[in-house]
């Protein structure tokens, strides 16, 4: 008897732990152990009521499958909230699994990554077995037929309470009295179903928006620009650099010094804020949002944008006589979708000529990337003005190690950076201490900003029109700022910078905190409006 009670208690504990499993870092507390999951009596009483029949085995299998599916979704939620500040979208985010594995391999190495994956698989198998065993323990409880019927009724009553609690929590209705527990696991399942439906509905609306373009096939676009244009995305450069004391003291000083230097060289500047479509990662969503003039917030809309045939800023620039290019030092695999983005030339990591040691996941320092831009594009024989997207990488996680600036004429093939690339503690050591991670982030962003503005100063004699954009905020535990806001700067000759005066941005490199935050998907059309012939500006309004 005692052994049976212990088995029943242990089996109930297995279900209890599965049902209270958190899906958000903030919920990972000891208090979570004392939550009462309203689904627990539904499951236990339902199993007790099941007859000894073959279909009972199938029903147990379905129960375990659903519980394990939601458990995996909770783990995915936990990872996404930690990295990107949002939950896992089962429709749009499956492709991120591969990207996450590549990032982990670059950050901590292939062997630790493989061990972590194997451990996750083994743990999943063990938990699945435990849930199957627990369902068997409770389904084999022998009770009289009358009690079995009572168990069915009680299970249905508890199910009704669970449904009522889920509906109240999701805002579907309100209850006069809150239930004595929470149906958290059931709610996670319902939320994912709702999320999938909403994502598909958003996709239909997105496809309609992609097909409607007031600038499609118009003449005279971008004719107001007479020189190279550089669209520079600074990795993980977010508003936290300006507002969070841990970072702002350093980064504001760098921006202020750069502003004074550029102004002394005769360059004009304006700065503001954009709302990025992502946080913590997925830089390509921001690149696509900026170029397409559409809110590309997940992988599904990204694929839809590519398939839509919509003309990006780079298609339009190419038609206007620019040599369009993408300089992408972090692209290390084939990138076939680039053929749909409007680039005449694509320079990925292997094309840039870096022969030095990589900085863990970061393939090369930003300073080398700019040197390669000049060597391969700006100093080339093609006399067309350039229109370039350049995505920097040195301020990408894991931010270990951070390069130092070197004399530009000594960069060569990149071996000058080798000692820096092998210095300091590796990521798996640094990332055990969140304060050290934040310190590395502070230094990495500062390095990236100093490189960008030093490069701009070097071009002052014949300055390009430069847009410097943060692609997204860093992960929440690093940024310490949950907003999606990122800084944006425009640098160049006064005649071109003054064309954006109507945007309301602040003069200089330090945007006023009260500057309105514009969604990033407005930038394509704003640039086209500012730098196209007057008749085009009138025609689209």
Q: Facing residues of 273 across strands?
A: 487, 517
Residues 129-186: tens digit of each pLDDT:
999 999 888 888 877 777 778 777 888 888 888 888 888 887 787 888 778 888 888 8
Give the model's pLDDT for residue 334.
Answer: 87
Least confident of 288-302, 346-360, 384-398, 444-458: 288-302
Smallest Cα–Cα separation from 68: which of 117, 132, 118, 116?
132
Contact 166, 174 (CB under 8 A): no
- Inform me whether the pLDDT recorded for 200 exceeds 50: yes
Q: Which residue in this structure is represented by tokens 């831009």?
A: 373
Q: Identify the band that residue 540 occupies on the pLDDT scale cut at 50, 70 and 90.
A: very low
Do residues 355 and 414 lie in contact, with contact meaning Cβ atoms separated by under 8 Å? yes
- One-letter-per-residue 3-state SS of 20-40: HCCCCHHHCCHHHHHCCECHH
CATH among 3.40.720.10, 2.60.40.740, 1.10.3720.10, 2.30.22.10 for 228-508: 3.40.720.10
pLDDT in tens, 92-116: 777 777 777 777 776 667 888 888 8
How high is the pLDDT of residue 536? 47
Separation of alpha carbons 438 and 378, rounded Å:
35
The four Cα atoms 260, 261, 266, 269 give a dihedral, to 10 degrees, of: -60
- pLDDT score for 90: 80
**486 φ, ψ (degrees, to nearest 5):** -135, 145
4, exposed or middle or buried, with CB in 10 Å at 0-12, 13-18, 19+? exposed
Q: What's the whole-model pTM score?
A: 0.77
Q: What share of the chain in percent tops pLDDT 90?
A: 54
3-class secondary structure, 348: strand
How far is 485 from 472, CA to CA, in rounded Å? Answer: 7
Low-confidence winner among 174-183, 306-315, 317-326, 532-541 (lowest mean pLDDT) = 532-541
pLDDT at 1: 64
| Mean pLDDT, the chain, whole residue set | 89
Written as one string, the DSSP assignment of 230-278 is: EEEEETT--THHHH-HHHHHHHHHHHHHHHHHHHHTT-EEEEEEEE-S-
* Average pLDDT over every residue of 426-434: 89
Q: Domain segments of the chain: what residues? A: 2-200, 228-508
Between CA 313 and CA 292 the distance in angstroms is 6
C-alpha–C-alpha distance, residues 288 and 312, integer Å: 8
Per-residue pLDDT tens digits for 262-274: 999 999 999 999 9
Average pLDDT over residues 356-377: 95
Share of the chain above pLDDT 70, in %: 97
> Which residue has better confidence, 133 or 29?
133
């Amino acid at each position: 008897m005692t052994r049976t009670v212990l088995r029943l208690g242990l089996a109930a504990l297995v279900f209890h732990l599965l049902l209270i499993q958190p899906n958000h870092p903030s919920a990972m507390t000891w208090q979570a152990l004392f939550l009462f999951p309203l689904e627990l009596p539904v499951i236990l009483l339902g199993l007790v009521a099941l007859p000894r029949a073959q279909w009972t085995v199938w029903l147990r299998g379905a129960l375990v499958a659903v519980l394990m599916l939601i458990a995996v979704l909770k783990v995915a939620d936990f990872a996404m909230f930690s990295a990107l500040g949002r939950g896992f979208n089962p429709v749009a985010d499956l492709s991120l699994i591969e990207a996450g594995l590549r990032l982990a391999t670059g950050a901590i190495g292939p062997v630790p990554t493989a061990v972590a994956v194997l451990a996750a698989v083994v743990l999943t198998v063990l938990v699945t077995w435990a849930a199957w065993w627990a369902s068997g323990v409770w389904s084999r409880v022998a009770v009289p037929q009358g009690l079995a019927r009572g168990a069915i009724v009680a299970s249905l009553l508890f199910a009704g309470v669970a449904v009522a609690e889920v509906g109240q929590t999701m805002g579907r209705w309100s209850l006069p009295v809150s239930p004595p527990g929470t149906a958290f696991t059931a709610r996670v399942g319902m939320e994912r179903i709702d999320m999938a439906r909403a994502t598909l509905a958003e996709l239909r609306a997105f496809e309609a928006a992609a097909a409607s373009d007031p600038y499609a096939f118009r003449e005279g676009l971008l004719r107001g620009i007479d020189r190279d244009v550089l669209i520079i995305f600074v990795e993980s450069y977010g508003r936290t650099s300006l507002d969070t004391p841990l970072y702002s003291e350093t980064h504001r000083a760098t921006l202020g010094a750069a502003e004074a230097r550029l102004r002394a060289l005769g360059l004009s500047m304006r700065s503001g804020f954009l709302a990025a479509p992502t946080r913590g990662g997925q830089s390509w969503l921001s690149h696509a949002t900026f170029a397409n003039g559409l809110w590309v917030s997940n992988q599904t809309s990204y694929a839809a944008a590519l398939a839509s045939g919509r003309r990006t800023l780079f298609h339009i620039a190419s038609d206007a006589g620019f040599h369009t290019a993408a300089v992408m030092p972090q692209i290390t695999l084939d990138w076939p979708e680039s053929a749909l983005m409007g680039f005449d030339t694509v320079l990925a990591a292997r094309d840039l000529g870096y022969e030095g040691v990589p900085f863990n996941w970061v393939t090369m320092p930003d300073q080398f990337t700019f040197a390669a831009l000049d060597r391969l594009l700006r100093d080339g024989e093609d006399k067309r003005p350039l229109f370039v997207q350049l995505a920097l990488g040195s301020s990408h996680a894991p931010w270990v190690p951070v390069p130092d600036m070197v004399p530009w004429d000594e960069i060569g093939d990149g071996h000058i950076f080798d000692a820096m690339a092998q210095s300091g503690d590796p990521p798996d050591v640094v990332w055990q201490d969140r304060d050290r991670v934040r310190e590395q982030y502070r230094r990495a962003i500062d390095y990236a900003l100093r490189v960008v503005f030093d490069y701009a100063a070097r071009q002052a004699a014949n300055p390009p029109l430069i847009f410097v954009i943060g692609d997204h905020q860093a992960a929440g535990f690093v940024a310490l700022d949950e907003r999606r806001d990122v800084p944006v700067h425009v640098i160049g000759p006064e005649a071109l910078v003054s064309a954006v005066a109507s945007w309301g941005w602040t003069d200089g490199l330090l945007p006023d905190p009260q500057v309105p935050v514009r969604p990033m998907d407005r930038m394509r059309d704003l640039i086209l409006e500012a730098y196209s012939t007057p008749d085009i500006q009138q025609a689209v309004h």
